[in-house]
Amino acid sequence: MRLRAHRIHREWTVAEMAERLLCSPNTLRALESGKPGTSIGLLAHALWLFGEIDSLDNVAPAPAGLAAKRRVRKSTTRGAAGVIAEDERDF
């Protein structure tokens, strides 16, 4: 994932690519040089521009088995709006 190499291969200047990414040229330079303060969203956008969005999995792969797990929300019984349940009254 060499962003600068992809940009140069497409013959885009820093200013042109920064405009496509909706960021400043300085932010793009920081992204290309790997500065840690740049946004992962900006990286994803850049990878999408180059058709390399699938390589984002190489940056932060999901732990094994995590994809198979689902969050399950506990169901709660709610009364009517503004009604306090009998066990919640403290008088």
Per DSSP, the residues of 4-49 read: HHHHHHTT--HHHHHHHHTS-HHHHHHHHHT-TTS-HHHHHHHHHH
Architecture category of domain 1-60 in CATH: Orthogonal Bundle (1.10)
Residues 18, 28: contact at Cβ < 8 Å?
A: yes
How far apart, in whole angstroms, are the C-alpha atoms of residue 23 and residue 25? Answer: 7
Please report, for residues 4, 14, 71, the alpha-carbon distance to residue 46 in angstroms, rounded to integers and kept in the order given: 10, 12, 31
pTM above 0.85, yes or no: no
pLDDT string in tens for the chain (91-residue length) = 589 999 999 999 999 999 999 999 999 999 999 999 999 999 999 999 999 988 888 776 667 766 566 666 666 666 566 777 777 777 6
d(CA 74, CA 34): 42
The residues spanned by each domain of the chain are: 1-60
